[in-house]
Amino acid sequence: MAKVKGDIIVDIEKCKGCEVCIDACPTHTIEMSEKVNGKGYHFMQNVHDACTGCTNCAIVCPDGVITVYRIKV
């Protein structure tokens, strides 16, 4: 079976830093950024390569900030 690798794209300006996605990520790929967006919120970001493309973060995100992409490797 082909392995699936994932990646996320974050709409930084729409993120309000509620941190719901942090607990939803099974591989602890997401962390809050040190930087802030235009409104002053720390936004979420992908910190390492462990994303499996499970889309948990995108499902729980209340503002639809996250887009998940999957590739077969």
User: Which residues lie near other proteins (CB under 8 A)?
Assistant: 16-18, 39-41, 62-63
| 55: Cα separation from own chain's centroid | 9
Is residue 70 packed enough to be buried (19+ CB in 10 Å), middle (13-18) or exposed (0-12)?
A: middle
> How far apart are CB 41 and other proteins at their closest, in Å?
7
> How far apart are CB 28 and other proteins at their closest, in Å?
20
> How far apart are CB 62 and other proteins at their closest, in Å?
5
Distance between CA 2 and CA 45 in Å, rounded? Answer: 26
- Residue at token pair 């942090």: 22
Nearer to other proteins, 5 or 16 (CB): 16
Nearer to other proteins, 13 or 49 (CB): 13
